[in-house]
Amino acid sequence: MKRISTSNTSCKQSLPVINDNNEIISCIDLFCGAGGLTHGLRKAGINVIAGIDLDPQCRFPYETNNLSTFIEKDIHEVSGAELIKLFENAKVKMLAGCAPCQPFSTYSQPNRQSRNDNKWDLVSSFGRLVKESKPDLITMENVPHLLRHEVFREFLKTLKQYNVWYEVVKCQQYGVPQTRKRLVLIASLLGEVKLLSPNEVESRRTTVRQAISDLPAIEAGQCDKNDPLHVASSLSEMNLRRIRASKPGGTWEDWDSSLVASCHRKGSGQTYRSVYGRMEWDAPAPTITTQCFGFGNGRFGHPEQDRAISLREAAILQTFPTSYKFLDSGERVKFNILGRLIGNAVPVRLGEIVGRSIVAHLQEYGLLDESTE
């Protein structure tokens, strides 16, 4: 855990006391995606007035499930003046976001990183907007690997006027049913700030069974008639044989040699044990990725049904509520698009914990009554 405090912000900033979170806190969510972070912050009582993202596919789920405005725009083209105008007369201004993490992800290969060099400066764009809009509160979520990159150190320099806390968080400890680890940063002009501990928010670890076992059974390539998002991708005959030979928590090494892919028979393929696997009922899921709907893309096989997890199951493992709508009425399922929206999202539960931490911080500094939590 790291905390950075500056002497010139050790005293409480003079701000008016208002007893309604929605009146005192206004937040803008950069790189908002389908709305995982926004939804979590809203659950904690924080008024997210707008989300900004360049992906037009985000508009429907973002606006349908959140009382927030979606702005389709590249962050590189957003100015601090625009954010200030959005904040209007907000008493406490908060800037939140998760810059797309593909350049920093351990799933990214070197050649992929070189193709995405233009994305490496998105964290820098976040820092630019902090300098230009001067929010009172900041939160950022990203992959742990970002800690080791120069762009993060430069981002911290942007926050020299703030009290800063950051740490790699094990999401499972906060009730997210997956082994996801994320870098979480919170910064404040008001005083010292931190993420609440699992004990402080009474979090309990959640398993795959607790999360998705009550969903109707479906087959590979099938869709639940009552929920268009509860749909599983189809399997080839070979992959159907493979998943039937797979054990929960096992690997392709458990299979008969006739089922093993030729690339895995090579010496270089022995390290790829985290593909073609089933989840375990009484353990957390692996980290949900943008390709989580594919059996061969990771340990994304259903614990007992012969298929990969459905898009709805992936969303639930990301702690989106079952009522969260990703598809407009009559819209056709596109696995790559929906997988991207779900896999790239900040887990709603993690967003809620960040929001509750911010609320507790404002209560500590007398800006909110405890009754407003």
Q: What token pair was written down for 154?
A: 């430069």
The CA–CA distances, whole Å, from 92 to 20, 185, 253, 328 equal 12, 18, 55, 34
- Give the distance, in angstroms, between the CA of residue 24 and the centroid of all CA atoms in the same chain: 25
Please confirm, yes or no, whether 101 is among the known catalytic residues: yes
Q: Measured at the alpha carbon of residue 348, what is the angle toward residues 318 and 278, in degrees to the nearest 5?
A: 10
DSSP string, 253-300: GGS-GGGS-HHHHSGGGGG-TTSS-B--TTSPBPPP-TTTT-GGGSS-
23 within 8 A of 362, measured Cβ to Cβ: no
The 3-class secondary structure across 62-121, one letter per residue, is: HHHHCCCEEEECCHHHCCHHHHHHHHCCCCEEEEEECCCCHHHCCCCCHHHHHHCHHHCC
> Strand order in 137-142's β-sheet?
2-4, 163-170, 181-188, 137-142, 92-97, 25-30, 47-53, 69-72
Structure-token pair, residue 29: 């969510």
For residue 186, what is the DSSP state? E
| DSSP label of 216 | P
Total count of residues recorded for the chain: 373
Q: With beta carbons less than 8 A apart as the criterion, state whether 272 and 261 touch.
A: no
Q: How many CA atoms lie within 13 A of 61 on its CB side?
A: 30
Q: Of the listed 58, 98, 101, 292, which one is catalytic? A: 101
CA distance 90 to 84: 9
- Catalytic site residues? 101
